[in-house]
Amino acid sequence: MNKLIYNYIKENRSRILDTWIQNMRNKADERLIKGVSTEVFESTSDEFVEMIISRLTEKEEEFLSLLTDFAEKVVRLGWPLVFVNEGLKEFEKIVYGGLVDQGLVNQDKLLEVVGDLDSFMTPMQNEVVNMYSQIWEKTVSLQKIALQELSAPLIPVLDRITVMPLVGTIDTERAKQIMENLLNGVVNHRSEVVLIDITGVPVVDTMVAHHIIQAAEAVRLVGAHCMLCGIRPEIAQTIVNLGINLNEITTKNSLQKGIEAALEITSRQIVEMEEVE
Amino acid sequence: MRIPILKLYDCLLVSIQWELDDATALQFQEDLLHKIHQTSANGVVIDITSIDFIDSFIAKVLGDVVSMSKLMGAKVVITGIQPAVAITLIELGIVLDDVLTALDLEKGLEKLQQELGD
Amino acid sequence: MEFQSCVKIINEWDIVAARQLGRNVAKELGFGTVDQARITTAISELARNIYLYAGQGKVCIEKLYEGGKSGLLIIASDEGPGIPDVRKVMEDGFSTSGGLGAGLPGVKRLMDEFDLDTTIGKGTEIRAIKWLR
Protein backbone atom coordinates (compact mmCIF):
# COMPACT_ATOMS: atom_id res chain seq x y z
CA MET A 1 0.00 0.00 0.00
CA ASN A 2 1.19 3.39 -0.87
CA LYS A 3 2.55 5.11 2.26
CA LEU A 4 1.57 8.48 0.94
CA ILE A 5 -2.11 7.66 0.61
CA TYR A 6 -2.12 5.86 3.90
CA ASN A 7 -0.67 8.78 5.78
CA TYR A 8 -2.90 11.24 4.04
CA ILE A 9 -6.07 9.37 4.95
CA LYS A 10 -4.91 8.87 8.49
CA GLU A 11 -4.07 12.50 9.06
CA ASN A 12 -7.08 14.01 7.34
CA ARG A 13 -9.59 11.50 8.48
CA SER A 14 -12.14 13.83 10.05
CA ARG A 15 -11.94 16.31 7.20
CA ILE A 16 -12.45 13.55 4.65
CA LEU A 17 -15.38 12.25 6.63
CA ASP A 18 -17.04 15.67 6.77
CA THR A 19 -16.62 16.31 3.09
CA TRP A 20 -17.81 12.85 2.31
CA ILE A 21 -20.99 13.17 4.38
CA GLN A 22 -21.63 16.59 2.84
CA ASN A 23 -21.25 15.31 -0.69
CA MET A 24 -23.21 12.16 -0.12
CA ARG A 25 -26.05 14.03 1.49
CA ASN A 26 -26.44 15.99 -1.73
CA LYS A 27 -26.41 12.82 -3.75
CA ALA A 28 -28.76 10.78 -1.64
CA ASP A 29 -32.27 10.88 -2.95
CA GLU A 30 -35.17 11.91 -0.81
CA ARG A 31 -36.49 8.47 -0.20
CA LEU A 32 -33.25 7.55 1.47
CA ILE A 33 -33.03 10.63 3.68
CA LYS A 34 -36.67 10.52 4.68
CA GLY A 35 -36.54 7.01 6.02
CA VAL A 36 -33.37 7.59 8.00
CA SER A 37 -32.80 10.09 10.77
CA THR A 38 -29.84 12.47 10.61
CA GLU A 39 -28.04 10.71 13.44
CA VAL A 40 -28.39 7.33 11.87
CA PHE A 41 -27.26 8.73 8.55
CA GLU A 42 -24.23 10.31 10.13
CA SER A 43 -23.30 7.38 12.33
CA THR A 44 -23.70 5.01 9.44
CA SER A 45 -21.62 7.26 7.23
CA ASP A 46 -19.03 7.40 9.96
CA GLU A 47 -19.02 3.63 10.12
CA PHE A 48 -18.69 3.48 6.38
CA VAL A 49 -15.61 5.64 6.25
CA GLU A 50 -14.28 3.87 9.34
CA MET A 51 -14.65 0.63 7.48
CA ILE A 52 -12.79 1.93 4.45
CA ILE A 53 -9.99 3.10 6.69
CA SER A 54 -9.89 -0.19 8.56
CA ARG A 55 -8.82 -1.68 5.29
CA LEU A 56 -5.56 0.17 5.84
CA THR A 57 -5.04 -0.58 9.49
CA GLU A 58 -6.64 -3.91 10.23
CA LYS A 59 -5.96 -7.39 9.05
CA GLU A 60 -7.84 -8.82 6.11
CA GLU A 61 -10.27 -10.91 8.22
CA GLU A 62 -11.22 -8.07 10.49
CA PHE A 63 -11.88 -5.86 7.54
CA LEU A 64 -14.08 -8.53 5.99
CA SER A 65 -16.09 -8.98 9.16
CA LEU A 66 -16.58 -5.21 9.40
CA LEU A 67 -17.62 -5.16 5.79
CA THR A 68 -20.13 -7.97 6.35
CA ASP A 69 -21.64 -6.19 9.34
CA PHE A 70 -21.81 -2.97 7.46
CA ALA A 71 -23.38 -4.49 4.35
CA GLU A 72 -26.01 -6.23 6.45
CA LYS A 73 -26.77 -2.99 8.20
CA VAL A 74 -27.18 -0.87 5.09
CA VAL A 75 -29.29 -3.52 3.43
CA ARG A 76 -31.53 -3.41 6.48
CA LEU A 77 -31.62 0.38 6.32
CA GLY A 78 -32.50 0.08 2.69
CA TRP A 79 -29.51 1.89 1.28
CA PRO A 80 -29.40 1.07 -2.38
CA LEU A 81 -26.28 -0.59 -3.71
CA VAL A 82 -25.88 2.27 -6.18
CA PHE A 83 -25.60 4.69 -3.29
CA VAL A 84 -22.98 2.68 -1.42
CA ASN A 85 -21.03 2.22 -4.62
CA GLU A 86 -21.26 5.93 -5.23
CA GLY A 87 -19.95 6.43 -1.71
CA LEU A 88 -16.87 4.41 -2.45
CA LYS A 89 -16.23 6.38 -5.62
CA GLU A 90 -16.76 9.64 -3.75
CA PHE A 91 -14.27 8.58 -1.13
CA GLU A 92 -11.71 7.83 -3.81
CA LYS A 93 -12.39 11.19 -5.40
CA ILE A 94 -11.99 13.10 -2.14
CA VAL A 95 -8.74 11.39 -1.25
CA TYR A 96 -7.36 11.93 -4.71
CA GLY A 97 -8.50 15.55 -4.80
CA GLY A 98 -6.98 16.14 -1.37
CA LEU A 99 -3.68 14.65 -2.38
CA VAL A 100 -3.48 16.83 -5.44
CA ASP A 101 -4.64 19.99 -3.64
CA GLN A 102 -2.09 19.65 -0.93
CA GLY A 103 0.60 19.19 -3.54
CA LEU A 104 1.56 15.84 -2.14
CA VAL A 105 1.65 14.31 -5.57
CA ASN A 106 3.68 15.61 -8.41
CA GLN A 107 3.16 14.91 -12.06
CA ASP A 108 5.62 11.99 -12.21
CA LYS A 109 4.00 10.16 -9.36
CA LEU A 110 0.46 10.90 -10.41
CA LEU A 111 -0.08 7.72 -12.40
CA GLU A 112 1.42 5.59 -9.70
CA VAL A 113 -0.79 7.09 -7.04
CA VAL A 114 -3.90 6.73 -9.16
CA GLY A 115 -3.00 3.11 -9.76
CA ASP A 116 -2.44 2.45 -6.08
CA LEU A 117 -5.61 4.15 -5.06
CA ASP A 118 -7.49 2.16 -7.63
CA SER A 119 -6.06 -1.17 -6.56
CA PHE A 120 -7.01 -0.24 -3.01
CA MET A 121 -10.58 0.67 -3.83
CA THR A 122 -11.52 -1.88 -6.50
CA PRO A 123 -11.41 -5.02 -4.35
CA MET A 124 -13.51 -3.19 -1.83
CA GLN A 125 -16.09 -2.32 -4.44
CA ASN A 126 -16.20 -5.91 -5.59
CA GLU A 127 -16.57 -7.07 -2.04
CA VAL A 128 -19.45 -4.69 -1.41
CA VAL A 129 -21.28 -5.86 -4.53
CA ASN A 130 -20.55 -9.42 -3.56
CA MET A 131 -21.86 -8.90 -0.05
CA TYR A 132 -25.01 -7.31 -1.32
CA SER A 133 -25.78 -10.08 -3.75
CA GLN A 134 -25.04 -12.71 -1.12
CA ILE A 135 -27.43 -11.08 1.28
CA TRP A 136 -30.06 -10.83 -1.42
CA GLU A 137 -29.64 -14.44 -2.37
CA LYS A 138 -29.93 -15.43 1.26
CA THR A 139 -33.12 -13.42 1.64
CA VAL A 140 -34.61 -14.91 -1.49
CA SER A 141 -33.83 -18.47 -0.48
CA LEU A 142 -35.19 -17.86 3.01
CA GLN A 143 -38.38 -16.50 1.53
CA LYS A 144 -38.62 -19.51 -0.71
CA ILE A 145 -38.37 -21.82 2.28
CA ALA A 146 -40.92 -19.76 4.15
CA LEU A 147 -43.25 -20.03 1.19
CA GLN A 148 -42.79 -23.77 1.01
CA GLU A 149 -43.68 -24.09 4.66
CA LEU A 150 -46.83 -22.21 3.85
CA SER A 151 -47.57 -24.85 1.26
CA ALA A 152 -50.89 -26.59 1.52
CA PRO A 153 -51.49 -29.14 4.24
CA LEU A 154 -53.90 -32.01 3.74
CA ILE A 155 -56.37 -32.50 6.55
CA PRO A 156 -58.34 -35.70 7.05
CA VAL A 157 -61.72 -34.51 8.36
CA LEU A 158 -63.77 -37.68 8.25
CA ASP A 159 -63.04 -41.26 7.37
CA ARG A 160 -62.21 -41.35 3.63
CA ILE A 161 -62.70 -37.60 3.25
CA THR A 162 -59.85 -35.09 3.27
CA VAL A 163 -59.67 -31.34 2.80
CA MET A 164 -56.88 -29.24 1.34
CA PRO A 165 -57.32 -25.53 1.99
CA LEU A 166 -55.29 -23.38 -0.38
CA VAL A 167 -54.11 -19.99 0.79
CA GLY A 168 -52.24 -17.37 -1.19
CA THR A 169 -51.02 -17.02 -4.72
CA ILE A 170 -50.31 -20.17 -6.67
CA ASP A 171 -47.37 -20.24 -9.06
CA THR A 172 -46.05 -23.16 -11.06
CA GLU A 173 -43.50 -24.12 -8.44
CA ARG A 174 -46.06 -24.12 -5.66
CA ALA A 175 -48.64 -25.87 -7.81
CA LYS A 176 -46.22 -28.77 -8.27
CA GLN A 177 -45.61 -28.93 -4.54
CA ILE A 178 -49.34 -28.86 -3.85
CA MET A 179 -50.02 -31.60 -6.37
CA GLU A 180 -47.39 -33.82 -4.73
CA ASN A 181 -48.75 -33.22 -1.23
CA LEU A 182 -52.27 -33.80 -2.45
CA LEU A 183 -51.60 -37.12 -4.15
CA ASN A 184 -49.34 -38.51 -1.43
CA GLY A 185 -51.93 -37.50 1.15
CA VAL A 186 -54.76 -39.15 -0.77
CA VAL A 187 -52.83 -42.39 -0.98
CA ASN A 188 -51.60 -42.29 2.64
CA HIS A 189 -55.00 -41.45 4.13
CA ARG A 190 -56.76 -43.77 1.69
CA SER A 191 -59.22 -40.99 0.93
CA GLU A 192 -62.05 -41.43 -1.49
CA VAL A 193 -62.91 -37.77 -1.76
CA VAL A 194 -60.63 -34.75 -1.59
CA LEU A 195 -62.02 -31.27 -1.23
CA ILE A 196 -59.81 -28.45 -2.44
CA ASP A 197 -60.91 -25.24 -0.79
CA ILE A 198 -59.87 -22.10 -2.65
CA THR A 199 -61.47 -19.51 -0.37
CA GLY A 200 -58.00 -18.18 0.39
CA VAL A 201 -56.79 -17.94 -3.19
CA PRO A 202 -56.94 -14.29 -4.24
CA VAL A 203 -56.87 -14.73 -8.01
CA VAL A 204 -57.82 -17.62 -10.22
CA ASP A 205 -56.44 -16.99 -13.68
CA THR A 206 -56.06 -19.41 -16.57
CA MET A 207 -52.84 -20.79 -15.15
CA VAL A 208 -54.18 -21.41 -11.66
CA ALA A 209 -57.30 -23.00 -13.13
CA HIS A 210 -55.10 -25.16 -15.31
CA HIS A 211 -53.17 -26.37 -12.26
CA ILE A 212 -56.40 -27.11 -10.42
CA ILE A 213 -57.76 -29.08 -13.36
CA GLN A 214 -54.51 -31.05 -13.56
CA ALA A 215 -54.60 -31.77 -9.85
CA ALA A 216 -58.19 -32.99 -10.12
CA GLU A 217 -57.26 -35.20 -13.04
CA ALA A 218 -54.28 -36.64 -11.14
CA VAL A 219 -56.47 -37.31 -8.12
CA ARG A 220 -58.82 -39.24 -10.37
CA LEU A 221 -55.91 -41.30 -11.68
CA VAL A 222 -54.85 -42.44 -8.23
CA GLY A 223 -58.44 -43.45 -7.67
CA ALA A 224 -60.26 -40.75 -5.71
CA HIS A 225 -62.78 -37.97 -6.36
CA CYS A 226 -61.76 -34.34 -6.36
CA MET A 227 -64.09 -31.50 -5.53
CA LEU A 228 -63.53 -27.77 -5.63
CA CYS A 229 -65.04 -25.64 -2.86
CA GLY A 230 -65.06 -22.06 -1.75
CA ILE A 231 -65.64 -20.42 -5.12
CA ARG A 232 -66.38 -16.77 -4.44
CA PRO A 233 -68.59 -14.77 -6.83
CA GLU A 234 -65.68 -12.83 -8.34
CA ILE A 235 -63.78 -16.05 -8.92
CA ALA A 236 -66.78 -17.58 -10.66
CA GLN A 237 -66.98 -14.45 -12.83
CA THR A 238 -63.34 -14.55 -13.84
CA ILE A 239 -63.47 -18.27 -14.54
CA VAL A 240 -66.38 -17.84 -16.93
CA ASN A 241 -65.08 -14.62 -18.47
CA LEU A 242 -61.74 -16.25 -19.17
CA GLY A 243 -63.59 -19.12 -20.82
CA ILE A 244 -62.06 -21.71 -18.52
CA ASN A 245 -63.83 -25.02 -18.63
CA LEU A 246 -64.21 -26.50 -15.17
CA ASN A 247 -67.08 -28.76 -16.19
CA GLU A 248 -65.12 -31.90 -15.48
CA ILE A 249 -64.76 -30.96 -11.84
CA THR A 250 -67.50 -30.97 -9.23
CA THR A 251 -67.67 -27.52 -7.68
CA LYS A 252 -69.42 -26.35 -4.51
CA ASN A 253 -69.70 -22.86 -3.14
CA SER A 254 -68.75 -23.74 0.42
CA LEU A 255 -66.73 -26.33 2.25
CA GLN A 256 -69.84 -27.33 4.13
CA LYS A 257 -71.73 -28.16 0.94
CA GLY A 258 -68.62 -29.96 -0.28
CA ILE A 259 -68.49 -32.19 2.78
CA GLU A 260 -72.18 -32.98 2.43
CA ALA A 261 -71.62 -34.02 -1.16
CA ALA A 262 -68.56 -36.01 -0.17
CA LEU A 263 -70.59 -37.92 2.39
CA GLU A 264 -73.12 -38.66 -0.30
CA ILE A 265 -70.44 -40.05 -2.59
CA THR A 266 -69.18 -42.32 0.17
CA SER A 267 -72.82 -43.29 0.83
CA ARG A 268 -73.12 -41.80 4.27
CA GLN A 269 -75.06 -39.00 5.92
CA ILE A 270 -75.09 -37.04 9.11
CA VAL A 271 -78.10 -37.89 11.24
CA GLU A 272 -79.33 -35.74 14.09
CA MET A 273 -79.60 -37.65 17.35
CA GLU A 274 -82.80 -37.55 19.32
CA GLU A 275 -82.29 -35.87 22.61
CA VAL A 276 -82.00 -38.25 25.54
CA GLU A 277 -83.76 -37.28 28.71
CA MET B 1 -41.74 -62.98 -18.99
CA ARG B 2 -45.53 -63.02 -19.07
CA ILE B 3 -47.80 -61.25 -16.66
CA PRO B 4 -50.09 -63.73 -14.87
CA ILE B 5 -53.84 -63.14 -15.24
CA LEU B 6 -56.02 -64.66 -12.51
CA LYS B 7 -59.71 -65.42 -12.66
CA LEU B 8 -61.89 -64.60 -9.67
CA TYR B 9 -65.59 -65.41 -10.19
CA ASP B 10 -66.59 -63.33 -13.19
CA CYS B 11 -63.61 -61.00 -12.93
CA LEU B 12 -60.00 -61.12 -13.98
CA LEU B 13 -57.22 -59.94 -11.70
CA VAL B 14 -53.90 -58.69 -12.93
CA SER B 15 -51.11 -57.42 -10.77
CA ILE B 16 -48.18 -55.97 -12.66
CA GLN B 17 -45.17 -56.44 -10.42
CA TRP B 18 -42.24 -55.27 -12.43
CA GLU B 19 -41.22 -52.64 -14.93
CA LEU B 20 -42.94 -53.11 -18.26
CA ASP B 21 -40.85 -53.20 -21.38
CA ASP B 22 -42.53 -52.76 -24.73
CA ALA B 23 -42.65 -56.43 -25.65
CA THR B 24 -44.11 -57.49 -22.31
CA ALA B 25 -46.72 -54.75 -22.50
CA LEU B 26 -47.88 -55.84 -25.95
CA GLN B 27 -47.84 -59.50 -24.94
CA PHE B 28 -49.98 -58.59 -21.94
CA GLN B 29 -52.47 -56.81 -24.15
CA GLU B 30 -52.88 -59.91 -26.26
CA ASP B 31 -53.01 -62.30 -23.30
CA LEU B 32 -55.65 -60.29 -21.49
CA LEU B 33 -57.94 -60.08 -24.50
CA HIS B 34 -57.64 -63.81 -25.04
CA LYS B 35 -58.41 -64.47 -21.42
CA ILE B 36 -61.50 -62.24 -21.55
CA HIS B 37 -62.66 -64.16 -24.59
CA GLN B 38 -61.97 -67.52 -22.95
CA THR B 39 -63.63 -66.81 -19.62
CA SER B 40 -66.20 -64.27 -20.81
CA ALA B 41 -65.31 -62.15 -17.80
CA ASN B 42 -67.36 -59.03 -17.11
CA GLY B 43 -64.69 -57.06 -15.32
CA VAL B 44 -60.96 -56.67 -15.04
CA VAL B 45 -58.86 -55.10 -12.30
CA ILE B 46 -55.32 -54.17 -13.22
CA ASP B 47 -53.20 -53.27 -10.21
CA ILE B 48 -50.09 -51.26 -10.96
CA THR B 49 -49.01 -50.34 -7.43
CA SER B 50 -45.46 -51.55 -8.10
CA ILE B 51 -45.00 -49.52 -11.26
CA ASP B 52 -43.06 -46.35 -10.59
CA PHE B 53 -43.27 -44.75 -13.99
CA ILE B 54 -45.35 -44.88 -17.16
CA ASP B 55 -44.25 -43.40 -20.45
CA SER B 56 -46.51 -42.57 -23.36
CA PHE B 57 -46.07 -45.98 -24.95
CA ILE B 58 -47.14 -47.95 -21.91
CA ALA B 59 -49.92 -45.45 -21.28
CA LYS B 60 -51.15 -46.05 -24.82
CA VAL B 61 -51.02 -49.82 -24.39
CA LEU B 62 -52.96 -49.57 -21.13
CA GLY B 63 -55.49 -47.14 -22.61
CA ASP B 64 -55.94 -49.39 -25.63
CA VAL B 65 -56.41 -52.45 -23.45
CA VAL B 66 -59.18 -50.64 -21.61
CA SER B 67 -60.97 -49.66 -24.84
CA MET B 68 -60.50 -53.10 -26.36
CA SER B 69 -61.81 -54.85 -23.25
CA LYS B 70 -64.80 -52.54 -23.30
CA LEU B 71 -65.53 -53.65 -26.86
CA MET B 72 -65.46 -57.22 -25.65
CA GLY B 73 -67.89 -56.38 -22.86
CA ALA B 74 -65.52 -56.20 -19.90
CA LYS B 75 -65.08 -53.15 -17.70
CA VAL B 76 -61.56 -52.35 -16.57
CA VAL B 77 -60.52 -50.65 -13.35
CA ILE B 78 -56.89 -49.63 -12.94
CA THR B 79 -55.77 -49.48 -9.33
CA GLY B 80 -52.77 -48.31 -7.38
CA ILE B 81 -51.52 -45.59 -9.71
CA GLN B 82 -48.72 -43.99 -7.67
CA PRO B 83 -48.73 -40.21 -7.12
CA ALA B 84 -45.46 -39.87 -9.04
CA VAL B 85 -46.94 -41.80 -11.96
CA ALA B 86 -50.12 -39.71 -11.95
CA ILE B 87 -48.10 -36.49 -11.97
CA THR B 88 -45.84 -37.56 -14.84
CA LEU B 89 -48.82 -38.75 -16.88
CA ILE B 90 -50.52 -35.38 -16.41
CA GLU B 91 -47.37 -33.45 -17.25
CA LEU B 92 -46.77 -35.58 -20.32
CA GLY B 93 -50.24 -34.49 -21.37
CA ILE B 94 -51.72 -37.97 -21.42
CA VAL B 95 -55.40 -38.17 -20.58
CA LEU B 96 -56.75 -41.56 -19.67
CA ASP B 97 -60.26 -40.20 -19.96
CA ASP B 98 -62.50 -43.20 -19.83
CA VAL B 99 -60.35 -45.30 -17.56
CA LEU B 100 -61.89 -46.19 -14.21
CA THR B 101 -59.52 -45.95 -11.29
CA ALA B 102 -59.41 -46.88 -7.61
CA LEU B 103 -56.93 -46.55 -4.78
CA ASP B 104 -56.13 -50.22 -4.38
CA LEU B 105 -57.14 -53.72 -5.40
CA GLU B 106 -59.83 -53.96 -2.73
CA LYS B 107 -61.49 -50.70 -3.69
CA GLY B 108 -61.02 -51.61 -7.33
CA LEU B 109 -63.06 -54.77 -6.89
CA GLU B 110 -65.71 -52.82 -4.98
CA LYS B 111 -65.93 -50.30 -7.76
CA LEU B 112 -66.20 -53.01 -10.36
CA GLN B 113 -69.07 -54.67 -8.47
CA GLN B 114 -70.79 -51.28 -8.31
CA GLU B 115 -70.30 -50.62 -12.00
CA LEU B 116 -71.46 -54.10 -12.97
CA GLY B 117 -74.39 -53.94 -10.58
CA ASP B 118 -75.78 -50.81 -12.20
CA MET C 1 -16.33 -33.32 -11.12
CA GLU C 2 -17.53 -34.78 -14.36
CA PHE C 3 -19.66 -37.85 -14.56
CA GLN C 4 -21.21 -39.19 -17.69
CA SER C 5 -22.48 -42.57 -18.70
CA CYS C 6 -24.13 -43.57 -21.92
CA VAL C 7 -26.38 -46.26 -23.27
CA LYS C 8 -26.48 -47.08 -26.96
CA ILE C 9 -30.00 -47.35 -28.29
CA ILE C 10 -30.18 -50.09 -30.88
CA ASN C 11 -33.16 -52.22 -29.92
CA GLU C 12 -36.20 -52.00 -27.65
CA TRP C 13 -34.37 -53.45 -24.69
CA ASP C 14 -31.94 -50.57 -24.67
CA ILE C 15 -34.82 -48.23 -23.84
CA VAL C 16 -35.22 -50.14 -20.59
CA ALA C 17 -31.47 -49.99 -19.94
CA ALA C 18 -31.41 -46.23 -20.56
CA ARG C 19 -34.21 -45.45 -18.16
CA GLN C 20 -32.76 -47.74 -15.51
CA LEU C 21 -29.46 -45.90 -15.76
CA GLY C 22 -31.31 -42.60 -15.50
CA ARG C 23 -33.28 -43.69 -12.49
CA ASN C 24 -30.15 -44.87 -10.69
CA VAL C 25 -28.33 -41.62 -11.30
CA ALA C 26 -31.41 -39.63 -10.21
CA LYS C 27 -31.54 -41.69 -7.01
CA GLU C 28 -27.82 -41.09 -6.36
CA LEU C 29 -28.30 -37.37 -6.77
CA GLY C 30 -31.08 -37.44 -4.20
CA PHE C 31 -34.12 -36.67 -6.39
CA GLY C 32 -37.50 -37.44 -4.80
CA THR C 33 -39.81 -40.12 -6.14
CA VAL C 34 -41.82 -37.74 -8.30
CA ASP C 35 -38.74 -36.25 -9.93
CA GLN C 36 -37.30 -39.74 -10.39
CA ALA C 37 -40.47 -40.68 -12.24
CA ARG C 38 -40.26 -37.49 -14.32
CA ILE C 39 -36.66 -38.19 -15.29
CA THR C 40 -37.25 -41.86 -16.01
CA THR C 41 -40.27 -41.05 -18.15
CA ALA C 42 -38.44 -38.34 -20.07
CA ILE C 43 -35.56 -40.71 -20.82
CA SER C 44 -37.98 -43.37 -21.93
CA GLU C 45 -39.68 -40.95 -24.33
CA LEU C 46 -36.40 -39.71 -25.77
CA ALA C 47 -34.94 -43.21 -26.12
CA ARG C 48 -38.08 -44.43 -27.82
CA ASN C 49 -37.97 -41.51 -30.25
CA ILE C 50 -34.45 -42.55 -31.21
CA TYR C 51 -35.48 -46.16 -31.66
CA LEU C 52 -38.56 -45.26 -33.70
CA TYR C 53 -37.27 -42.48 -35.91
CA ALA C 54 -33.51 -42.73 -36.14
CA GLY C 55 -33.05 -46.47 -35.72
CA GLN C 56 -30.10 -46.01 -33.46
CA GLY C 57 -28.33 -43.47 -31.33
CA LYS C 58 -27.39 -42.99 -27.74
CA VAL C 59 -28.65 -41.58 -24.49
CA CYS C 60 -26.13 -40.10 -22.06
CA ILE C 61 -26.74 -39.13 -18.47
CA GLU C 62 -24.55 -36.56 -16.78
CA LYS C 63 -24.45 -35.22 -13.24
CA LEU C 64 -24.27 -31.43 -13.15
CA TYR C 65 -22.82 -29.29 -10.40
CA GLU C 66 -23.26 -25.60 -11.08
CA GLY C 67 -23.27 -22.62 -8.77
CA GLY C 68 -24.17 -24.57 -5.66
CA LYS C 69 -26.95 -26.59 -7.22
CA SER C 70 -26.85 -30.01 -8.73
CA GLY C 71 -28.85 -31.50 -11.52
CA LEU C 72 -29.17 -34.23 -14.06
CA LEU C 73 -28.56 -33.74 -17.76
CA ILE C 74 -29.97 -36.06 -20.39
CA ILE C 75 -28.37 -35.96 -23.82
CA ALA C 76 -30.20 -37.95 -26.45
CA SER C 77 -28.39 -37.95 -29.75
CA ASP C 78 -28.73 -39.79 -33.03
CA GLU C 79 -27.57 -39.57 -36.59
CA GLY C 80 -31.00 -40.08 -38.02
CA PRO C 81 -32.96 -38.11 -40.61
CA GLY C 82 -33.43 -35.04 -38.38
CA ILE C 83 -36.68 -33.28 -37.66
CA PRO C 84 -38.06 -31.31 -40.63
CA ASP C 85 -40.48 -29.10 -38.73
CA VAL C 86 -39.35 -28.44 -35.18
CA ARG C 87 -42.27 -26.14 -34.41
CA LYS C 88 -44.71 -28.85 -35.33
CA VAL C 89 -43.16 -31.59 -33.19
CA MET C 90 -43.20 -29.23 -30.22
CA GLU C 91 -46.96 -28.82 -30.60
CA ASP C 92 -49.14 -30.80 -28.26
CA GLY C 93 -50.89 -33.71 -29.85
CA PHE C 94 -48.65 -34.00 -32.86
CA SER C 95 -47.40 -37.48 -33.59
CA THR C 96 -46.12 -39.28 -36.63
CA SER C 97 -45.90 -42.68 -35.02
CA GLY C 98 -49.55 -43.18 -34.11
CA GLY C 99 -48.68 -42.86 -30.46
CA LEU C 100 -50.33 -40.50 -28.06
CA GLY C 101 -48.31 -37.58 -29.40
CA ALA C 102 -47.14 -36.67 -25.92
CA GLY C 103 -43.49 -37.01 -26.94
CA LEU C 104 -41.36 -33.89 -27.02
CA PRO C 105 -43.63 -31.23 -25.50
CA GLY C 106 -44.36 -33.72 -22.76
CA VAL C 107 -40.66 -34.21 -22.12
CA LYS C 108 -40.23 -30.45 -22.03
CA ARG C 109 -42.88 -30.18 -19.34
CA LEU C 110 -41.33 -32.97 -17.29
CA MET C 111 -37.88 -31.36 -17.26
CA ASP C 112 -36.67 -27.88 -16.23
CA GLU C 113 -34.62 -27.07 -19.31
CA PHE C 114 -35.01 -28.39 -22.82
CA ASP C 115 -32.88 -27.79 -25.86
CA LEU C 116 -33.32 -29.29 -29.30
CA ASP C 117 -30.73 -29.21 -32.04
CA THR C 118 -31.50 -30.87 -35.33
CA THR C 119 -30.11 -30.91 -38.84
CA ILE C 120 -31.89 -32.57 -41.74
CA GLY C 121 -29.95 -35.63 -42.82
CA LYS C 122 -27.40 -35.23 -40.06
CA GLY C 123 -29.24 -36.07 -36.89
CA THR C 124 -30.76 -34.72 -33.74
CA GLU C 125 -29.47 -33.88 -30.30
CA ILE C 126 -31.76 -33.14 -27.38
CA ARG C 127 -30.45 -31.90 -24.06
CA ALA C 128 -32.76 -31.75 -21.08
CA ILE C 129 -31.92 -30.81 -17.50
CA LYS C 130 -33.68 -31.41 -14.22
CA TRP C 131 -32.38 -29.38 -11.27
CA LEU C 132 -32.39 -30.71 -7.75
CA ARG C 133 -34.44 -28.47 -5.51
- Identify the CATH number of the domain in which residue A194 sits: 3.30.750.24
Do A231 and A258 lie in one domain? The reply is yes
Alpha-carbon distance of A229 to A116, in angstroms, equals 69
Strands C3-9 and C57-66: antiparallel
* pLDDT of the residue at C37: 92
**Residue A221: inside a domain:** yes
Residue of B nearest to A223 (CA): B102
Alpha-carbon distance of A17 to B101, in angstroms, equals 75
Domain architecture of chain B: domains with CATH: 5-117 (3.30.750.24)
* pLDDT of the residue at C95: 55
Minimum distance, in Å, between the CA of residue A183 and any CA atom of chain B = 5
Specify the DSSP class assigned to residue A271: -
Do A132 and A252 lie in one domain? The reply is no
Render each residue's pLDDT in chain A as its tens digit; 277 residues. Answer: 467 777 777 788 788 878 877 787 777 666 555 556 677 777 777 777 777 777 777 677 777 777 777 777 777 777 777 777 888 888 888 888 887 777 777 777 777 778 877 877 787 788 778 878 888 888 888 887 777 666 678 889 998 999 999 888 888 888 888 898 899 999 999 999 999 999 888 888 888 888 888 899 999 999 999 999 988 888 888 888 888 888 878 898 889 999 999 999 888 888 888 876 6
Alpha-carbon distance of A219 to A200, in angstroms, equals 21
Structural domain for A142, as ranges: 3-148
Taking CB atoms and an 8 Å cutoff, what residues of chain B touch A192? Answer: 103, 107
Do A133 and A188 lie in one domain? The reply is no
Structural domain for C99, as ranges: 3-131
**Residue A271: inside a domain:** no
* pLDDT of the residue at C1: 47
**Residue A57: inside a domain:** yes
Do A134 and A179 lie in one domain? The reply is no
- The number of beta carbons lying within 10 Å of the beta carbon of residue A113 is 20
Based on the structure, what is the number of domains in chain A? 2
- Of the residues A90, A124, A148, the one at which a domain ends: A148
- Say if the Cβ atoms of A218 and B86 lie within 8 Å: yes
- The number of beta carbons lying within 10 Å of the beta carbon of residue A171 is 13
Do A108 and A202 lie in one domain? The reply is no
Cβ atoms of residues A117 and A93 within 8 Å? no
Alpha-carbon distance of A229 to A234, in angstroms, equals 14
**Residue A46: inside a domain:** yes
- Of the residues A94, A121, A148, the one at which a domain ends: A148
- Say if the Cβ atoms of C41 and B88 lie within 8 Å: yes
Do A71 and A165 lie in one domain? The reply is no
> In 3-state terms, what secondary structure has residue A197?
strand
- Say if the Cβ atoms of A184 and B104 lie within 8 Å: no
Chains in contact with A, where contact means 3 or more Cβ–Cβ distances below 8 Å, are B
The fraction of chain C above a pLDDT of 70, given in percent, is: 90
Taking CB atoms and an 8 Å cutoff, what residues of chain B touch C15? Answer: 21-22
Taking CB atoms and an 8 Å cutoff, what residues of chain B touch C92? Answer: 93
Do A112 and A165 lie in one domain? The reply is no
Chains in contact with B, where contact means 3 or more Cβ–Cβ distances below 8 Å, are A, C
Alpha-carbon distance of A241 to A246, in angstroms, equals 12
Do A139 and A31 lie in one domain? The reply is yes
**Residue A274: inside a domain:** no
Q: Closest partner residue to A221 among B96, B104, B108, by Cβ?
A: B96
**Residue A277: inside a domain:** no
Based on the structure, what is the number of domains in chain C? 1
Cα atoms in the 13 Å half-sphere on the side-chain side of C83 = 21
- Say if the Cβ atoms of A179 and B108 lie within 8 Å: no
pTM recorded for the entire structure: 0.70
Taking CB atoms and an 8 Å cutoff, what residues of chain B touch A219? Answer: 86
Q: Mean pLDDT for chain B?
A: 90
Minimum distance, in Å, between the CA of residue A184 and any CA atom of chain B = 6
Do A165 and A124 lie in one domain? The reply is no
Do A7 and A66 lie in one domain? The reply is yes
* pLDDT of the residue at B72: 92
- Say if the Cβ atoms of B57 and C13 lie within 8 Å: no
Element (H, E) at A97: helix A81-101
- Of the residues A148, A174, A190, the one at which a domain ends: A148
CATH number at C96 reads 3.30.565.10
Taking CB atoms and an 8 Å cutoff, what residues of chain A touch B107? Answer: 192, 223
CATH number at A112 reads 1.10.490.10
State which residues of chain C have pLDDT below 50: 1, 98, 100-101
The ipTM estimated for the assembled molecules is: 0.83
Alpha-carbon distance of C120 to B67, in angstroms, equals 38
Do A79 and A179 lie in one domain? The reply is no
* pLDDT of the residue at A151: 67
